[in-house]
Every structure is written in C-alpha cells, then in structure tokens.
Amino acid sequence: MKVAIKGMGFYVPEEVVTNFDLEKILDTSDAWIVERTGIRERRRAKDTELTSDLAVNASKMAIKNAGIDPTDIDFIICATASPDYLFPSTGCIVGTKLGLGGVPAVDIAAGCTGFIYALSIAHGLLATGNLKNVLVVGAEELFKIVDPEDRSTYVLFGDGAGAAILGLSEDDSGILGWELRADGGYGELLMLPARGVALPLNQETIEKKLHYVKMKGNEIFKLAVRCMGDVSLSLLKKLGMNSSQLDWIVPHQANIRIIQALAKRLDVPMERVIVNVDKYGNTSAASIPIAICEAIEEGKIKKGDVVLLVAFGAGLTWGAMVLRI
C-alpha cells in the first residue's frame, strides 16, 4: 500500500520585508537582488514568535485539511535548521503545543533538503504498518541566524513553515519513490560555525560573527544546479519515468536562476514549475511544503497530479521525490 499526503498547511509571519526595506540598511539594491535571485520580498517572524509557533500554525492547517483529529497523529517529524533550541527538539515542542504529549517527536537536520528527508523517513515509518498518521513539518526562522550586516546572505532568507499529514493511501495517490544524497565533505560551503560544541558561543566567536550563517554562494550555486538535476534524472530513471510525465516540479526555492537551470536540464517548461521565491525568499526546509500547499490552494496542483520535489542544502544534502497528489 502506498503512503500519501492526506492534507497540507502553511504559515508565514505577517511582516513583509521588501528589497526596498533592505536597501535602507545594506549596500544592496532591489535590481541586484531581483536579477541575481528572483526574490522581491520575504517574511520575518516577531522576536516572540518561535520556529515552533510557525510550525504549529502550519500543522493546524494540515490537520484540518487532512480531516483528522490532532490525537490521530502518532509521530511528529520536524525539519529545521533554525530550531528553538539545540535541545529539546522543536518536534517535541510542536507536539506539546498541539496538545500531543506522549507522541514521539524528532527533528531532522538536513538543511534545505530537510522536508524531503522527513517525508522519506515518514514513508518508511508508515510502510511498517505500525502507524496511521505522521505529521511532517518544515519550519524556519532564518532571519534570526543571518548576519544583518552581511548583504551576501541577509537578503536571501525568510521565515515560514509548511506541514503535511502522511498516512496510508486510500486511492492511487502516494509516494512513488525518492532518492536522497549527502556529502559532509562539502559541509563548510554552507554552515553555521558557532553555537555547537566545536565552537561554543563566546565573546571571540560572537565578535567574529561565527554564530551566523556562512555561505560560499557561488560554489553552492554550481553544486545545486548539478546535484538537483542529477538526482532528479536518476530518480526518474529508477521509476521508469521521463520528465514529460510530470505535471509539476516543486523545487526548493533558493534562487530563480537555479530553478530555471534545473527546468532546462529536465526539459520541463517553466509553466510546469512552481515558483514563489519572489514572495518568500529562501525558507530552507519550509520552502517545498509552502510551495506545494500554496499551489494546491491556488488550484494549480490538483488531485491526481504527478509532482517531482527536489532540493539541495546544507550538509551538503540533496534529494528528490516523485509523488501522486
């Protein structure tokens, strides 16, 4: 029996930060950001609003859309690179805020590929037949971990959350296959150096701003284009499919130029690619669920559509999944 998405939800904070707002505080311009990234605005959470709060809002919508009661959830997986704390996990906090004390919960740290990793793990858990409903949520507050004085990262990221309820399929919808990859050898290209045990927070690490995201954007760009294309084509081959059988591609929303290069490599017109990087920027593990859910709400992605999800991010990690909605 297949494992399918039974309902989805998303939540973005109210505050909109436009490129014009960023022009006022950084040596940057709307023209540069739009041309190099496709981003026009992004959302920022309040100081008092935590990653777990965004996750809870998205999860409540997914629970409603799946037509289940919160108490029907028997496992929670939260994908995040910006957790409330190193521990307890954000998954545990989300469970408590949903009134689900006692339900197992865990975080997945797979950067921007986190949501695809989490879906794949939920797929494996449900396939054992021991569980009925798994909540998978990708949630990020990246504004709180990027350097407000670093134009090369501060303009790229945004806050938000997207969630899905997964369960056994009752029709022909479901996950058709996935392929995941990782290579820690490239980890330093995109990392948050301090805050862990390797470089604990202290005056020196703070002065050197090592508690903020560091990214070699150019190198990540080239690897993202190559790896997202490779993993997508490899998965399609494994499934005996070609890209013309895909109704939609939902790529990780990091940069419009990466998305366009991917579409070209897969020979899929941009009309069949979901893009919202202009509105939300790069929301890491939240970007794919926000994009799918919004596309469903807008009537683009419909029941029965075959969709390719593909992402690339810190780790480095990358992966793809094909599913019928």
Active site members: 112, 252, 282
Q: Tell which one of 82, 255, 283, 317 touches ligand UT7 (CB under 6 A).
A: 255
Residue 2 vs 226, nearer CB to ligand UT7: 226
Determine contact, residues 134/73, Cβ cutoff 8 Å: yes
**CA gap 148, 261 in Å, rounded:** 29
Determine contact, residues 297/151, Cβ cutoff 8 Å: no
**CA gap 61, 64 in Å, rounded:** 5
3-class SS at 268?
coil
**Site size for ligand UT7 (CB under 6 A):** 22
Residue 28 vs 260, nearer CB to ligand UT7: 28
Q: Tell which one of 2, 36, 144, 300 touches ligand UT7 (CB under 6 A).
A: 36
Q: How far is the CB of 151 from ligand UT7 (least distance, A)?
A: 4
b/e string for 290-323 if b means 16 or more Cβ within 10 A? Answer: bbbbbbbeeeebeeebbbbbbbbbbbbbbbbbbb
b/e string for 66-83 if b means 16 or more Cβ within 10 A? Answer: bebebeebbbbbbbbbbb
Residue 3: beta bridge partners? 168
Residue 218 vs 234, nearer CB to ligand UT7: 218
Query: Which of 11-19, 27-35, 45-53, 236-244 is the region at the interface with ligand UT7 (rule: CB under 6 A)?
Result: 27-35
Residue-wise DSSP of 60-79: HHHHHHHT--GGG--EEEEE
Residues from 63 through 92 that contact ligand UT7 (CB under 6 A): none
Residues from 201 through 230 that contact ligand UT7 (CB under 6 A): 217-218, 220-221, 224
Location of structure tokens 């690897």: 223
Residue nearest to ligand UT7 (CB): 217
Residues from 112 through 171 that contact ligand UT7 (CB under 6 A): 112, 151-152, 155-156
**Using the rule CB under 6 A, is 40 a contact of ligand UT7?**
no
Query: Which of 3-11, 29-37, 114-122, 159-167 is the region at the interface with ligand UT7 (rule: CB under 6 A)?
Result: 29-37
**Using the rule CB under 6 A, is 282 a contact of ligand UT7?**
yes
Q: How far is the CB of 31 from ligand UT7 (least distance, A)?
A: 9
Query: Which of 123-131, 241-249, 252-260, 298-306 is the region at the interface with ligand UT7 (rule: CB under 6 A)?
Result: 252-260
Query: Which of 55-63, 95-103, 250-258, 292-300 is the region at the interface with ligand UT7 (rule: CB under 6 A)?
Result: 250-258
Q: How far is the CB of 146 from ligand UT7 (least distance, A)?
A: 12
Determine if the peptide bond prior to 156 is cis (ω within 30°). no
Residue 11 vs 221, nearer CB to ligand UT7: 221
Residue 33 vs 246, nearer CB to ligand UT7: 33
Q: Please give the helix or strand (H or E) that residue 22 lies within, else none.
A: helix 19-23
3-class SS at 11?
strand
Listed in sequence order, the residues at least 6 apart from 93 whose beta carbon sits closer than 8 Å to its beta carbon are 50, 52, 84
Tokens of 100: 């689900």
Residue 282: beta bridge partners? 157
Residue 34 vs 241, nearer CB to ligand UT7: 34
Q: How far is the CB of 75 from ligand UT7 (least distance, A)?
A: 26
Chain residues binding ligand UT7 by CB under 6 A are 28, 32-33, 36-37, 112, 151-152, 155-156, 190, 217-218, 220-221, 224, 254-255, 258, 282, 312-313
